[in-house]
Chains A and B, each alone.
Chain A
């Protein structure tokens, strides 16, 4: 009789369902996975080492490029770590703006996840729907920071600038015209807060649309129910966080347990799964989008009625205004020193984490008193999630690997750093 041997197969690094540059070496017995060995690092840029060679503020832009679908949350962790080292705190209005944009980012991330995961498992329509809403939110990114993805909007001591008075509108062009132009500009007649209001009013209906497509869909359930089950004990052991942990029934959310920014002042619920399978994590993420929308609404209401500074008035950390700079020698010197040398932080070490859409994103900074960090370590949630991949997919069938990669919500910008 012929000898039957296991078959080793390469999945990626160029595979649309590998969500980036994942090379997955799979050992198969027929169509059953015996072993999965993810090879990561194909996107390693040495972000942490680069950050060690630059003044603190110059690395904020690198944070956007880590998890490039939840940009501002990464900035938030890094900026908060610096603020903690310096012993400064952002003004309340900046805290609310950060909360607002963290939740915007969460929706952006979950939409991307939902769309691409559904596409991987064979549902094309949702991808187009998700990108429609992402478009609106990326316009908000652009309106506050000038960039649609890599915002560099959060700074130590607050945010770069206050929300714009007027939401930018679309101009007539060969691509946007007539009724389409009118529809697009309908929400954009007032301020940015009005735009957010209109969005939050509309968004829950959109989520209902997504749910009609998936939640009771027979094929979707066949692909996700009881696939990639993560027992709570394993979730803890493998250092999982975010929806991966909550999908397994552990109610742990840093926004509630170790609140930062304005999360202790807004009202929201934490969805928790029961079985810890792909379907439960899908439900958790969908509910998180609804909750994010709720938080955004509360932030918008607060921001509407409370004006104030969005940056500390400490010119060693934050730049003075252009007017002051042109008028005042001291301010000019501060501006020059800040943008050349930066600021030195007191010696010490600090770890600050935020509840990023994918889980706990943390920044660990060791300072030796210089204007550049001595060591920066960025704790990416996807790194621990992917390390559990082997354990999760063992015994599953080959097509389930795609479902599991999808449910882990991995992005290689943050895993490879």
Chain B
């Protein structure tokens, strides 16, 4: 995607920001840095203004809920004395209804905000990740002052994930219905949702009712260690060294 990006962008970032950024790495030809919420604004401002970076465009901003990252629903490696696992259990959003949704608490680094930046001047892209400190009330500083495009993207992340952007001028829901309850893209929000609407001819208006569809998962989530990908990755790593 960024074909002739200088290999030194990571070094430049590290040299310029020092401990202000938590980590900087390159994977699949794309650059990612992680910043803590209290340093985010300062880092973002220099990324936009410094001559070496000039990330003038915020291309995308989205929330991520890392609950259940790397968990599968089907044991495929070993057989127990009861036979193979059936792949019918798990905690994916398609498996539960609103009433019996899991209530996880105290997971560190559950919510993150991921920002994609583009520098038209240097033809570079950069991914910026910022983990919200508190899992119960994730708060991240707003980037609206730095990139105007962040306005709606932050409203979207607030709407779908419940991430609060401190300093946002107008943090309203954007995609969900008026009067919607919950944050639908969280991993503990059921895929079926919680209410459904229909027109009631007796009442002469649209009514909201608890959802009637049963939660169902067609294909279980499977994590497979495919040796070919490992091999490809090792080869790529070997080439880089």
Q: Which residues of A contact B (CB under 8 A)?
A: 40-41, 44, 46, 48-50, 52-55, 84-87, 234, 236-239, 241, 250, 252, 257-260, 316, 340-353, 360, 362, 364, 366, 368-372, 374-375, 377, 379, 383-384, 386-388, 391, 416-417
Contact = CB atoms under 8 A, between A and B. Distances in A.
Contacts of A55: 219
Interface residues of B, number: 57
A369 B184 contact: no
Contacts of A379: 59-60, 116
B147 interface: yes
A379 B116 CA distance: 10
20 contacts: A41-B176, A53-B92, A86-B229, A237-B56, A250-B120, A344-B226, A349-B30, A360-B59, A368-B69, A370-B70, A370-B72, A371-B219, A371-B224, A372-B221, A375-B65, A377-B62, A377-B114, A383-B152, A383-B153, A384-B149
A9 B120 CA distance: 39
B123 interface: yes
A368 B174 contact: no
A239 B175 contact: no
B123 A236 contact: no
The 9 closest A-B pairs by CB, nearest first: A239-B149, A387-B152, A41-B175, A346-B229, A344-B224, A379-B60, A377-B62, A44-B175, A237-B148
B46 interface: no
Given A237-B149, A238-B148, A239-B57, A368 B70 contact: yes
A364 B60 contact: yes
Nearest to B127: A351
Contacts of B92: 53
A54 B219 contact: yes
Interface of B: 1-3, 27-28, 30, 32, 56-60, 62, 64-65, 69-70, 72, 92-94, 114, 116, 120, 123, 125, 127, 147-149, 151-153, 156, 173-177, 184-185, 191, 217-219, 221-226, 228-230, 232-233, 236
Contacts of B151: 387
Contacts, number: 147
A316 B114 CA distance: 31
Contacts of B69: 368, 374
Contacts of A344: 222-224, 226
Given A239-B58, A258-B123, A349-B27, A371 B221 contact: yes
Contacts of B174: 40-41
